[in-house]
Amino acid sequence: MGAGARVLIPSDALHAGVARVAAEVSAAYPEGVLFVAVLKGSVWFLADLVRALTVPCQVDFLAISSYAEGTGRVRIVKDLDADIAGRDVVLVEDVVDTGLTLTYVLGELARRDPRSLEVCALLDKVARRIVPAPVRFVAFEVGDEFVLGYGLDFGERYRNLDEVVAGDLEALRADPDAHVETLFGG
Ligand code: 5GP
């Protein structure tokens, strides 16, 4: 694969994992569920998740921006359209890493009095956790790797890969396009 990029979760395994999680969510919410997704990374996961769901659902979106990298201090730059009071809400995340972002977003949502609030993550980096984060539905646990693809980016690149790849962070910092040729055959 070259330039330090390697496939962690190939496309078929990825879609099987999403289907498994969709079955778990469907079983937990027979009356339906409101998904809240954080832009932009979780959109790819959300789109496949809802299409594999067997119960009714609605979707809404939040966008957040970090004040400073690694501090977990974020602010909402695009708020939800829906009033989530009294609703069964599932927050959809691309990857839970330190848990700091998730903790902030969960706090914001909890203040709005949903009937229930759970988290569904595509990827969980359990070993990287700084604050405990209650993730009820997880498609895959991954190690301490920098992951790309299926919504996950570096400098807005690589989101459209239909697989999850471990990237070489050092190479990417030197050149954000470092893996483009090997992953897209460019
Ligand atoms: P946390 O606050 O849990 O440390 O970080 C969560 C956010 O950091 C994710 O929603 C994602 O935007 C970003 N992030 C964490 N780990 C990775 C990774 O391995 N790859 C990419 N592309 N983004 C990551």
Active site annotation includes 97: yes
Neighbours of 154 (CB within 10 A): 19
Per-residue pLDDT band at 53 (split at 50, 70, 90): very high
pTM: predicted TM-score of the whole model, two decimal places? 0.94
- Answer yes or no: is 128 within a domain: yes
Per-residue pLDDT band at 29 (split at 50, 70, 90): very high
- Answer yes or no: is 8 within a domain: no
Distances (CA, A) of 32 to 11, 25, 36, 182: 28, 9, 13, 41
The answer to whether the CB of 41 is under 6 A from ligand 1 is yes
Residue nearest to ligand 1 atom 2, measured at CA: 101
- Answer yes or no: is 25 within a domain: yes
Q: Which residue has the higher pLDDT, 75 or 36?
A: 36
Supply the pLDDT for residue 73: 73
Structure tokens at 5: 């990029």
CATH of the domain at 75: 3.40.50.2020
pLDDT tens-digit series, residues 121-152: 999 999 999 999 999 999 999 999 999 999 99
pLDDT tens-digit series, residues 144-175: 999 999 999 999 999 999 999 999 999 999 99
Instruction: Give φ, ψ of 63 to 5 degrees.
Output: -125, 135
Pocket mutation for ligand 1, best pick of 73, 97, 103 (most atoms within 8 Å of C-beta)? 97
- Answer yes or no: is 30 within a domain: yes
Instruction: Give 33's DSSP letter.
Output: E
Q: Which residue range(s) make up the domain with 112?
A: 14-143
28 half-sphere exposure, CB direction, 13 A CA radius: 18
Query: Phi/psi zone of residue 137: left (φ > 0), alpha (ψ -120 to 50 degrees), beta?
Result: beta
- Answer yes or no: is 29 within a domain: yes
Pocket mutation for ligand 1, best pick of 152, 153, 161, 172 (most atoms within 8 Å of C-beta)? 152
39 bridge partner residues: 63
- Answer yes or no: is 181 within a domain: no
What's the total number of domains in the chain?
Answer: 1
Q: Which atom of ligand 1 is least distant from the CA of 142? A: 19
The answer to whether the CB of 8 is under 6 A from ligand 1 is no
- Answer yes or no: is 161 within a domain: no
pLDDT tens-digit series, residues 83-107: 999 999 999 999 999 999 999 999 9
Per-residue pLDDT band at 82 (split at 50, 70, 90): very high
The answer to whether the CB of 100 is under 6 A from ligand 1 is yes
Supply the pLDDT for residue 95: 97
Residue 48, pLDDT > 60, answer: yes
- Answer yes or no: is 164 within a domain: no
Residue 68, pLDDT > 50, answer: yes
Supply the pLDDT for residue 20: 98
- Catalytic site residue from 12, 48, 83, 97: 97
Share of the chain above pLDDT 90, in %: 90
Burial of 186 (0-12, 13-18, 19+ CB in 10 A): exposed
